[in-house]
Amino acid sequence: MNLFPRSRSAAAALALAAVTAVLPNAQAASHREAPITALDHKADITDWFAFVSPERPDRVVMILNVDPFLEPSNGPNYFPFDPNVLYEMEVDNNHDGKPDITLQFRFKTEIRNPGLYTGFVGGLAGIPPITALDGTGSEGLSLRQSYSVTMVTKSGSRVLSDDQTLFAVPSNVGPRTMPNYNLLRAKGTYTLYNGMRVFAGTVADPFFIDLGGVFDSLNMRKAATAPVLSAAVDGDDHNNYGPNALAGFNVNTIAVEMPITMLTADGQMHGAGDKLAVIGTYGSTSRRRVNVLGERSEHQSWAQVQRMGNPLINEAIIGTGSKDRFSMDDPWKDAQFANFVLDPLVPRVLSTLGVPVPAAPRTDLLPLVQYMAPICLGCTQADAGPVADLLRLNMGIAPTEPQNQKRLGFIAGDAAGYPNGRRPVDDVFDISLRALAGILVDAKTYGTPLGDGVNMPSSTLDTAFPFLAPAYSGRDSVHQGPGQPGCANQPDGICPAN
Amino acid sequence: MKLRFLFAFMLAGAQLFALTPAEKAIQQATEKVSRQPENPEYYNQLAMAFARRARETSDVAFYTKAEETLRHSFQLAPDNFEGLKTQAWLELGRHEFAKARATAQKLNKIAPDDVSVYGYLVDANVELGNYDDALHAAQWMLDLRPGNTAGLVRAAYLRELHGNLDGALELMQMAYDSEPLSETEDRAWLLTQMAHLRVGRRTSAESGRIRSLGSERVSQLPLRPRDNGADSYRPESL
């Protein structure tokens, strides 16, 4: 008997069994993200939004948020984008699950004053306050980032930003360095080809959730009446009844606004009943890859680190042993994960809490991952396309004015809200929990008003592009915790601890 | 008395020091099994340790021991994940490549994030002649855990099969640089493979013969300068 393998490949297997035996357990769990992405903050997508603009209803806004839990005071470098990450927004407009339009964002960092001890100085030592991103008033902006925008379609790739330099807006350091931060930030919105607008920079994180309660095995605040909300708490879209874990934290954002006619397959606008009005979208981050056989093409030289279509799919539905593969694979191949959608774990957990839930298979959840009603009203069974985690948006449904938007979106009769696209105001935790409990099957039987009692972002959202609040100030901002201020309708405005 | 005790102590210490990585692994796993004989995970560790020892010693008896140990694990927990991984590895060692591929495919379906399983898929598919599947699995290894040693070595081998020896060496060097110093046998193995690649790059006519040597264990390799043009090769570097 030949003990030794006859080839080096099998020899490699033998040698490397030893190597892999000493690797840490690949199944180590991380609830917040896919395990690998959790180690790569710069490439970590926190949220993905797509909605028809209430400001300009012939346009769509897409927002990619990355790099979670940025503490606003965390100098001296604050929060640059990673020049080694390729940030992308992808749009499928012919319902095959594959991107037809891709917007690519690449960042460059310059250190303009290498002698300075921090990235940003103003109103000190003869350096004027920072009031501009370039030229006069920008002297104290030592660490500065610029970026390019490229649009890739079937007909080729086109740099949309070649006639101007686009600067990313830095975080808000504080009032001495940046005395009028809102004005400074407004200079970071640029108009590109065909009236497109773009913004990149640090903003107040718009997400809102009682993370501590949710991830302590759904140990919600009873004082906020969570997880089964009282009518009063459930009906109040403008107050928080539990601590918002994201309050006081910044996040990095890339936002674009583009004409609907740049997004549809035929370049026309369509009514809500027409399937051509419906697109599927996602955001992704990629890094340079080592290619097995060496470089072949531009596409092959990037490895996707993460993607996001619907919120909370990877976090709440995909099994821990599949989260990385899910993050790195293409949405149109998601049939491999379909069982997680058809038989998710969360409803079984909810039923142990006494919440009625429908039995698997959960075909009612398929509209989140296929083109069908109620989002794609004009789609027949033949138009459903592959199972793919895309945020689907019917661009023929008119946007809701900001003052009339409902946090529960579509299930509260506000058809312009999640899961028809997603706006920053949409309470995706409450909506997703209810969808998983079966509200799409039958709102009477399975319509338990589940939620965390955190009903809105802690920052005041802009009602115009880029629709997010300016970054929290490093010097002056605070967070919110249990037993701390932040819940106006609770006794003394204190968020409940229990 | 005192001196004899000290001497015995030193001898025991020297013996412990003299243990190979696989012997150490066997010792540790045996202790764990005797402490908790109902824990399938410890049988898996012991089976893997025996399999490593088989490679170190060329003694097939260790494969048999590995298989017996694995049976204990499956009795306690049928089809447990780590046990199936060890099984795939043993199947590769026995050249049962179709079986190994089936086991690896089953594992990959359960946990698509496990990088070592992709390694088994690469190995089995190469041996079965399914080069595209092998490439696909190797690329997933590098994408899921950029820079992992197991992935780099597989990718290097695939580059070599495609005639790209420089590219293969580059990846092997990356693998060697990231390997912990304590993994002496792995490091020696990587260096040996790199040496073969360097020789192969110089005289491709010789490479077939050298390749066939590559499967032998490190201590048996003819590590001396050759007269075929590879005379700059320095065995001392091992």
Chain segment A386-415, per-residue pLDDT in tens:
999 999 999 999 999 999 999 999 999 999
Contacts of B157 (CB under 8 A, 6+ apart): A8, A9, A12, B126, B168
CA gap B205, B225 in Å, rounded: 17
Confidence of residue B217 (pLDDT cuts 50, 70, 90): very low
pLDDT in tens, B75-122: 999 999 999 999 998 999 888 999 999 999 999 999 999 999 999 999
- Cis preceding linkage at A35, omega within 30: no
pLDDT at A297: 66
User: Of A12, A322, A394, A403, which Cα lies nearest the Cα of B215?
Assistant: A12
- Computed on alpha carbons and rounded to an integer, the radius of gyration of chain B in Å comes to 20
pLDDT at A189: 98
Say if residue B207's pLDDT is above 70.
no
Of A14, A292, A320, the CB nearest to B55: A14
pLDDT at B235: 28
Say if residue B231's pLDDT is above 60.
no
pLDDT at B219: 33
Residue with tokens 């099969």: B161
pLDDT at A312: 85
Mean pLDDT of B172-179: 88
User: What are the residues facing A251 on neighbouring strands?
Assistant: A203
ipTM for the predicted complex comes to 0.78
Residue with tokens 């039995």: A359
pLDDT at B8: 58
- Say if residues B90 and B66 touch (Cβ distance below 8 Å): yes
Crossing angle between the packed helical segments B149-161 and B131-144, to the nearest 10 degrees: 150
pLDDT at A299: 67
pLDDT at A326: 95
Among A426-440, B23-37, B208-222, where is mean pLDDT lowest? B208-222
CA distances B103 to A144, A281, B47, B66, B85, Å, are 52, 36, 17, 17, 8
CA gap A236, A412 in Å, rounded: 13
Rounded to 5 degrees, φ, ψ at A337 are -105, 10
Residue with tokens 């008033």: A137
What length does chain A have? 498
- Say if residues A288 and A301 touch (Cβ distance below 8 Å): yes
pLDDT at A178: 98
CA gap A278, A286 in Å, rounded: 26
Q: Which one-letter DSSP state was computed for residue A1?
A: -
- Which residues does chain A have with pLDDT short of 50? 1-33
pLDDT at B94: 84
CB-defined contacts A:B, below 8 A: 162
CA distances A216 to A31, A225, A432, Å, are 11, 16, 18
pLDDT at A33: 46
pLDDT at A30: 26
User: Of A285, A331, A325, which Cα lies nearest the Cα of A309?
Assistant: A331
Interface test with A, best of B56, B121, B123 (most A CBs within 10 A): B123
Give me chain B's average pLDDT, please.
80
Q: Which residue has the higher pLDDT, B196 or B185?
A: B196
Residue with tokens 């009625």: A356
Subunit contact A13:B92, Cβ cutoff 8 A: yes
pLDDT at A4: 28
CA-nearest residue to B126 within chain A is A9
CA gap A415, A193 in Å, rounded: 30
Subunit contact B114:A23, Cβ cutoff 8 A: no
